[in-house]
Structure 1
Amino acid sequence: MTMTEILVLYYSRHGATASMARAIARGVAAAGADARLRTVPAVSAVVETAAPAVPEEGPPYVSLDDLRACDGLIIGSPTRFGNMAAPLKHFIDGTSALWLDGALAGKPAAAFTSTGSLHGGQETTLLTMLLPLMHHGMVLVGLPYTEPALGRTDAGGTPYGASHWAGSGMQAKPLQADERLLCEALGKRVAALAEKLR
C-alpha cells in the first residue's frame, strides 16, 4: 500500500505563505504521510503572457492530476482584501472536471493564510478558501482549542486554519513559534484524518 499523500497547494508572493507551507509539510511528515508541495503561477492582466511551464524556483506548478491523486488537500494564500489571491482562485475555478467526477469528495481539506496586518482578513480569507472545497464535497479540518498554541498566540492562528501575521516591507515578520506549531498541527491533523479515511 502506498503512503498517504497530502497536497499542500499555495500561492506566495513574498515568501510568507511559502514558509507556512513548509511548516505544514513538516507536520504532514511527522504524522507519517507524504507532503507534496505545489504552487500556482501568477496571473496577468495581459492575457497573451504565459507563465513558464516550470517555475524558476520552488515547487512545481500544480496540475489537476495532483488534486485527483491526493488523499488530502491543504491550500494556502496571502490575504487579498479578505479573500484568497487571484492566482489560487484562478486555478480553483478551473477544477470543474474534478467537481463533475466527485474526485475530491470525502477527502479532508484545510486552509492557511498570511496577512500584512494583524487584522488583515485572516478569518475571512480562510473561510472563503474553504467554500469551494465544500462544493467539492471535501471534509473540512480546522484547529481546535485543544492545540495550546491557539490559546496563547498573539499573532496568527484561528480555529478556521493556520494563519500568520507577516507584516510587510521593512516590517516583515518571520513565522513566530506558535504560528509554526499551528501550521505543523494542521498538517498532522489533515494527514491523520486522511489516513483514517483511506
Structure 2
Amino acid sequence: MKKLFIFFVFVSITIFSYMGCTLPYNNNSYQEEILAFYMDEDANNLAILGKEYHYIFHLKDKRNIDVLKAKQLLNYTANDLHLTLYRMNNNNISAHINLDFNKNNLNEEQISWLESHQFYQLEHKNGEVENLYTGNFSFSGKAYLSSIDINKKIKKINNSFFLDVEDSEDKILEPSKTPLIYQDNQLELNSYILYPFF
C-alpha cells in the first residue's frame, strides 16, 4: 500500500511538472505612472511621458490629429482619456484611446463636431440610445527609456495616474534612450518643439 501511494505521488508530480512546462506563455504587463502629455503645435507628434518610459507617437491619421487639436473645443482632460498601451516586439507601441462625452454637457457646436468625426451614440437592442457620444481611435509609436532629468523639468499634469501597459511578446529588448531633449526651458523632439498638452 505504501509503495502504491509513493507511485501515485511520483506520477502526480511528474504530470504537474509536465503541465507547468507546457503552459502557454502568460503575457506580462506593468503599471506606468504617467507624468505628462506633450505635443507639437501641428499635432504631428505626441509624447506620453511616464516615470519609466517615454512613449512617442508620430501621428498621420487626420482624424486622430483633429481629435487632439479639438481639446479646447471639447474641453476634455487627461482623466477623460481611457488609454490602453500595448508594447510589442522592438518596443513598438500601439495606443488605443476611448473618449466619452455626456450629451447633456455638450452644446450644438460640440455635438456637430463629434458627429462629423465618427463619434456615435450606442443604441441598445430595445431601441434605447445611450446619452453618451463615444469615439475610439488608435495610433502607433515607440517606447524609450525615460530621462530622470527631463522628468524633473517638464510641466506635469495635475494628477498623475497609473496606466496598465500590456507586453505582447515573450522577449523584449531594452529600449534605447529617449530622443527627447530639454533645453532653454522647452522640450524638443528632433526639430519640433513640444508643448504641454494638459
The structure whose Rg is larger is 2
In proportion to residue count, which structure has more strand? 2
Please indicate the TM-score interval, normalised by the length of the shorter structure: under 0.3
TM-score (norm 1): 0.26
TM-score (norm 2): 0.26
